[in-house]
Amino acid sequence: MSLTEKTRYGVLAAIVLTLIAVTGACNRDGDKSTGGANVAGNGSPGATQPATQPLVPTVRLADWCPEHGVPESVCTRCNPSLIADFKKKGDWCKEHDLPESQCLVCHPELKEKFEAMRPKTEG
Ligand SMILES: [Zn+2]
Ligand SMILES: [Zn+2]
């Protein structure tokens, strides 16, 4: 009876030692505060690394709909799924089926703004 207990204890100790060793090794390249149960070995090393992202989001020059003269990312005519969003914000011109902020018919002054946003393709 107590033999089993002893064996169990021995195994447990071994596991704990392994855990300590593995966790120690892990801690060197990643700062995981709580290690523990996850060292069984299906590991993806470097899972803690953050995705490489630029500090400043780069403006994608490709984000432009030349057909409609607005950024592609807000072009409701190319992306009808955006319409609901604009409507929710109250930014919608029913008359012309466009976001109010893009409706050049109602807001001719916007043309300049979008003109300025248009990516310059030089060369
Ligand atoms: Zn478009
Ligand atoms: Zn309008």
The CA 121 to ligand 2 mean position distance, Å, reads 29
Report the percentage of the chain scoring pLDDT > 70: 62
The CA 96 to ligand 2 mean position distance, Å, reads 5
**Residue 112 above 90 pLDDT?**
yes
Count of CB atoms within 10 A of residue 116's CB?
7
pLDDT band, very low/low/confident/very high, at 95 (cuts 50, 70, 90): very high
The CA 87 to ligand 2 mean position distance, Å, reads 13
- Single pTM value for the model: 0.49
**Residue 43 above 70 pLDDT?**
no
Q: Which residue has the higher pLDDT, 64 or 58?
A: 64
Count of CB atoms within 10 A of residue 99's CB?
20
